[in-house]
Structure 1
Amino acid sequence: MYNAYIPELSRSHPKFVQMMDDYKNKKGDFDPNKKHDDDDGKPGKKRKKAKGATELLVKNFGLIQDNLSATGHIWGYSGAVGMVIVSSAVVVMTGFWRILTGIRYALATMGVWWMLFTLPAAIDLRKRAGPPLPGSANLFSYCWFSIKRTFATFAALKHIPNTRNFMMAFFLYTDGISTVAQCGVLFATAEMGMSIPEFLLLCILSPFFAALNMVLVKHLQAKYQIETKSILLCCLYLYTFLSFWGVLGFTKVIGFVYKIELYIFIIFYGGFLAVYESMSRTTFCELVPPGQVSEFFGVYEISDKGSSWIGPLVVGFLFDAYGSVRYAFIYLFLACGLAAYILQYHVDYVQGANDARDKSKTVRMEAIRSKFGVSKKQIQAEIKKRKQLRSSVMSSSGSSAVSGNSAASSMSSASRMSSMSSASTSSSVEDSSGKDSGES
């Protein structure tokens, strides 16, 4: 659920805070509810100035989101390179003749690695302001609440078709791309006859070029103002071509028939892993209704990890039937090709962003949430009951006042960003944190 932090971190970014101040100065005393047109009906200076300031703010907010997402993947894949090198060293020192023992030590090393690098976030990452989850304070009620919200989110997708279509495409291409990684061991050893040292080199090259190419793409995107969706489509077309190249291997002439081809493949395959992951989540950020970031990213992760079993299952059936792992490339070709088609022709990103913030659609989605018992009004009513119950049994020692002051301080801090939400996402941070709290 760390993906859901990106919009909040972007709003709190020092550069964006400064941009907010500049935006307020440029906007001046413009009131969208008042008439600011000239006598001939054309937009007046105030309206033009306010519109330009808003467009600039929204654009810069998107750039900050892209930058944060890209930087996160650069650090992530850089860490992956280090972990692969350390794990490989553990396996080598254990001895290839005791490969299973070496793998056990490597897995233990990964666990320690995760624990060490999770501590900074666990200690320093601030809790998101907002009321507690409704219902009784027990694990079952929290799990049941999360299940209901998940089903409500899936049901609400029919009102925002562009978001739904994007998730369908994401479901397809993320499974196809991950299938190649999952079946890569079998393909490299069974089809290509690679030794363990050769395969370990592939494992190191993949995250290395993922981090390196993410740095390059991040620079090019900022320099030439390339749209995120265009980069994502380029990634999918590249993976479609790479999978087609693998299918050509059935000719026994070209198509990952030689080991050198596989090394070239891993440079491009690994090189765009971080890119497609980063561009996917920042694109999805724009298609999410305000105040529902965590629950929609929960569905996003379900689409990601929930599809990871389909590709290996299909490839497993094909391997049993035909005795070749190369059929994984057929699945990758179909998955990425179909996903690219959906994104190209069935996802309108501008309309999708507008739909996610359209009041009429928001009302209809809220009605669906009410049917599942997870609407904002129902949650707030339950929270109010709990607060009244707490206050009735609390002593007058001032703890209530402290709690109230803390909440007021939290809301005051959050309200600093609310004007940006009106400009770019038509929502306040308070609303976002109120709905999203507790589920990250």
Structure 2
Amino acid sequence: MSTTTHLPEHPATADDAALRRARFGWYINDWANAAFSATVLTVFLGPYLTSVAKEAADAQGDVHPLGLSIRAGSFFPYTVSLSVLLSVGAMLLAGTVADRTGRHKELMCGFAYLGATATMGMFFLGGDRYLLGGGLLVVANLAYAVSVALSYAYLPGLASPDERDKVSSKGWAYGYAGGGLLLIANLVLFQGHEAFGLSSGTAVRICLASAGLWWALFTIVPMRRLPSRAGASAPAGRTGATASALPAQRGGSAAASGADGADGTAGATADGAAEPAAGSLRELGRTLRGMRRHPLTLLYLAAFLCYNDGIQTVVSQASLYGSEELGMDQTSLVTAVLLVQVVAIGGALLLGRIAHRFGAKSTILGSLGGWVVTLALGYFMPAHQPLWFYVLACMIGLVLGGSQALSRSLFSHLIPAGKEAEYFSVYKVSDRGTSWMGPLVFGLAYQVTGSYRSAIVSLLVFFVIGFVLLLKVPVRRAIEAVGNPVPERL
């Protein structure tokens, strides 16, 4: 049974035991769900589900889900895109319900266990059951997206404006550490599968299921340590935020109601509490309309959704690119992802320190330049050269964690008080494992050209457009426009 922790009045107090407890629970939530991102999406499922689809393919190499004819090699990226399209509405509705009822933790953990169960079900993926694999991927990735979006809503209540880059970066570091630790265990299992009396396929299915088990077990920690309501106590000085920790209650908090008024949207009502589903749908519509009152926040979102779609596509399709285009075996792929995980821990912390000196926006822009160089290296990389593939992995790890952690913390400054879960649900449309435009472009490029090199270089457009849009965001004015205190460094 979970317990409820209430955040202290001033989260910026580093030695406060309740705050440390809540922060640790939040960090471990990243530790728990990163196993799905690393083991399932990044390493094992792409190549394995592609091989399963090829087993079911016809003489032309096509499979026919729902009567459609597509290349077996495009099935995985298309399925990722479908799962994200379906998750968009689920994230927005869940965010609205969470802000309206104060049940952030219950919804976050409920979706986490749904995703973990679907992931454990991947143990039964074998033979030519590519439709089973696609269905489980859709459910797991949708649940992952909703759960992580709700976890992001806790950040404003866990750190003062000047601490958020540091706290967000530490959370990402925990995630990469947890995902990397499980990957090490899975690498030992996969490399030694014959010694354990297992076929390579069975070893992969065990690795997939282990990510679900890991996710489920460690989710117990945030269940016990996080408060039910995200942002129940916001940092001192944040306009519109409540100054005391409030227990979870239906109908929303005073902070949510006050923020609704500031946004031009209506607060929760007693009638809405009696009909939470219908009320939340109406509130969702008001929130989406209210976002138009903050065009600078929307401009930042557009930039993030673009460049991060490119980042996530590189991450989710890297194993497929490595196995199909560069001829890497499964051991090389897992080793490369382990390098990404290890380097990303240091990269997240390093870019966090750089942002403390030069500001988050400038640091993110610099990291996007690093991504362009990384993609160029990937395009020209020779096949069957594991050493160069490991160099590419280190380059990805260096810019991966920091660019995402800083993007998350920077966005937290641009959210009206009381609307954290709803705004982060929109943000999560393109975050770890939930991009859809990139996989769609990647899959179409391969569908047309039959070359994964053409597919990977097609992603450059996302980084270029995202860089240009982010360059145009006046961050200070954007923060002031939503009534939040401006950090010392931007």
What interval of TM-score do these two structures reach, taking the shorter chain for normalisation? 0.5 to 0.7
**CA, structure 1 residues 246+255, in 2 after alignment: closer, same or farther (shift >3 Å)?**
farther
Q: Number of matched residues?
A: 303
Question: 1:286-297, aligned counterparts within 5 Å?
Answer: 286-297=413-424
**CA, structure 1 residues 144+205, in 2 after alignment: closer, same or farther (shift >3 Å)?**
farther
Counterpart position of 2:476: 350
- Aligned counterpart in structure 1 of residue 345 of structure 2, from 189, 211, 219: 211
Give the whole-Å Cα distance in 2 for the aligned partners of 1:86 and 1:178.
24
Counterpart position of 1:66: 165
**CA, structure 1 residues 146+330, in 2 after alignment: closer, same or farther (shift >3 Å)?**
farther
**CA, structure 1 residues 161+257, in 2 after alignment: closer, same or farther (shift >3 Å)?**
farther
Give the whole-Å Cα distance in 1 for the aligned partners of 2:373 and 2:8.
36
User: Alpha-carbon deviation of 1:333?
Assistant: 0.8
User: Alpha-carbon deviation of 1:9?
Assistant: 8.3
Give the whole-Å Cα distance in 2 for the aligned partners of 1:193 and 1:159.
50
Give the whole-Å Cα distance in 1 for the aligned partners of 2:312 and 2:250.
36
SS state at 1:272 partner: helix
SS state at 2:250 partner: coil
Of 314-323 and 213-222, deviating more is 213-222
Give the whole-Å Cα distance in 2 for the aligned partners of 1:306 and 1:194.
22
- Aligned counterpart in structure 1 of residue 466 of structure 2, from 313, 317, 339: 339
Give the whole-Å Cα distance in 2 for the aligned partners of 1:179 and 1:70.
21
Question: Of the two, which has the highest radius of gyration?
Answer: 1
Task: Check the 8 A contact 1:241/1:333 in 2, yes or no.
Answer: no
Task: Check the 8 A contact 1:10/1:16 in 2, yes or no.
Answer: no
Q: Is 1:324–2:451 an aligned residue pair?
A: yes
Counterpart residue identity of residue 300, structure 1: Y
Counterpart position of 1:27: none
Counterpart position of 2:175: 76
User: Alpha-carbon deviation of 1:13?
Assistant: 3.3
**CA, structure 1 residues 229+255, in 2 after alignment: closer, same or farther (shift >3 Å)?**
farther
Task: Check the 8 A contact 1:206/1:266 in 2, yes or no.
Answer: yes
Counterpart position of 1:300: 427
User: Alpha-carbon deviation of 1:305?
Assistant: 6.8
Task: Check the 8 A contact 2:347/2:400 in 1, yes or no.
Answer: no
Q: Deviations over 1:271-311 (max 9, x none)?
A: 22110111011110111112222211122113437962322
- Aligned counterpart in structure 1 of residue 184 of structure 2, from 76, 85, 106: 85
- Aligned counterpart in structure 2 of residue 237 of structure 1, from 369, 376, 379: 369
- Aligned counterpart in structure 2 of residue 132 of structure 1, from 240, 246, 250: 250
Give the whole-Å Cα distance in 2 for the aligned partners of 1:10 and 1:64.
16
Task: Check the 8 A contact 2:354/2:363 in 1, yes or no.
Answer: no
**CA, structure 1 residues 303+154, in 2 after alignment: closer, same or farther (shift >3 Å)?**
farther
Give the whole-Å Cα distance in 2 for the aligned partners of 1:72 and 1:325.
33
**CA, structure 1 residues 293+12, in 2 after alignment: closer, same or farther (shift >3 Å)?**
same
Task: Check the 8 A contact 1:10/1:64 in 2, yes or no.
Answer: no
Where does the alignment leave 5 or more consecutive residues of structure 2 unmatched?
Answer: 17-158, 230-245, 252-269
Counterpart position of 1:202: 336
Give the whole-Å Cα distance in 2 for the aligned partners of 1:213 and 1:9.
31
Task: Check the 8 A contact 2:306/2:463 in 1, yes or no.
Answer: yes
Counterpart residue identity of residue 100, structure 1: G
**CA, structure 1 residues 343+221, in 2 after alignment: closer, same or farther (shift >3 Å)?**
closer
Task: Check the 8 A contact 2:371/2:463 in 1, yes or no.
Answer: yes
User: Alpha-carbon deviation of 1:94?
Assistant: 3.0
User: Alpha-carbon deviation of 1:165?
Assistant: 0.9
Task: Check the 8 A contact 2:173/2:401 in 1, yes or no.
Answer: yes
Identity among equivalent positions (%) equals 24
User: Alpha-carbon deviation of 1:150?
Assistant: 3.3
Give the whole-Å Cα distance in 2 for the aligned partners of 1:136 and 1:154.
18
Give the whole-Å Cα distance in 2 for the aligned partners of 1:215 and 1:334.
28
Counterpart residue identity of residue 283, structure 1: L
Counterpart residue identity of residue 98, structure 1: S
Counterpart residue identity of residue 477, structure 2: Q
User: Alpha-carbon deviation of 1:424?
Assistant: 5.9
**CA, structure 1 residues 269+147, in 2 after alignment: closer, same or farther (shift >3 Å)?**
farther
Task: Check the 8 A contact 1:154/1:299 in 2, yes or no.
Answer: no
Give the whole-Å Cα distance in 2 for the aligned partners of 1:10 and 1:188.
49
Which TM-score applies when normalising by structure 2?
0.56
Give the whole-Å Cα distance in 1 for the aligned partners of 2:193 and 2:426.
41
Task: Check the 8 A contact 2:340/2:397 in 1, yes or no.
Answer: yes
Task: Check the 8 A contact 1:10/1:65 in 2, yes or no.
Answer: no
> What's the RMSD between the two structures over aligned residues?
2.9
Q: Deviations over 1:339-359 (max 9, x none)?
A: 0000002x11011112112xx
User: Alpha-carbon deviation of 1:210?
Assistant: 0.5
User: Alpha-carbon deviation of 1:242?
Assistant: 2.0
Give the whole-Å Cα distance in 2 for the aligned partners of 1:156 and 1:306.
27
Counterpart residue identity of residue 119, structure 1: I
SS state at 2:431 partner: helix
Counterpart residue identity of residue 186, structure 2: S
Task: Check the 8 A contact 1:74/1:211 in 2, yes or no.
Answer: yes
Counterpart residue identity of residue 62, structure 1: P
Give the whole-Å Cα distance in 1 for the aligned partners of 2:9 and 2:189.
39
Where does the alignment leave 5 or more consecutive residues of structure 1 unmatched?
Answer: 18-59, 358-420, 426-440
Counterpart position of 1:105: 206
Q: Deviations over 1:122-173 (max 9, x none)?
A: 01222332541354778xx434444433333332222211110111111111
**CA, structure 1 residues 245+11, in 2 after alignment: closer, same or farther (shift >3 Å)?**
farther
Counterpart residue identity of residue 12, structure 1: P
Give the whole-Å Cα distance in 2 for the aligned partners of 1:100 and 1:126.
41
Question: 1:21-420, aligned counterparts within 5 Å?
Answer: 61-95=160-194, 98-128=199-229, 129=246, 131-133=249-251, 134-135=270-271, 141-222=275-356, 225-247=357-379, 249=380, 258-304=385-431, 308-345=435-472, 347-357=473-483
Counterpart residue identity of residue 235, structure 1: S
Counterpart residue identity of residue 397, structure 2: G
Question: 1:7-26, aligned counterparts within 5 Å?
Answer: 11-15=10-14
Give the whole-Å Cα distance in 2 for the aligned partners of 1:314 and 1:97.
37
Task: Check the 8 A contact 2:442/2:459 in 1, yes or no.
Answer: no
Task: Check the 8 A contact 2:11/2:160 in 1, yes or no.
Answer: no
More helix by share: 1
**CA, structure 1 residues 307+328, in 2 after alignment: closer, same or farther (shift >3 Å)?**
farther
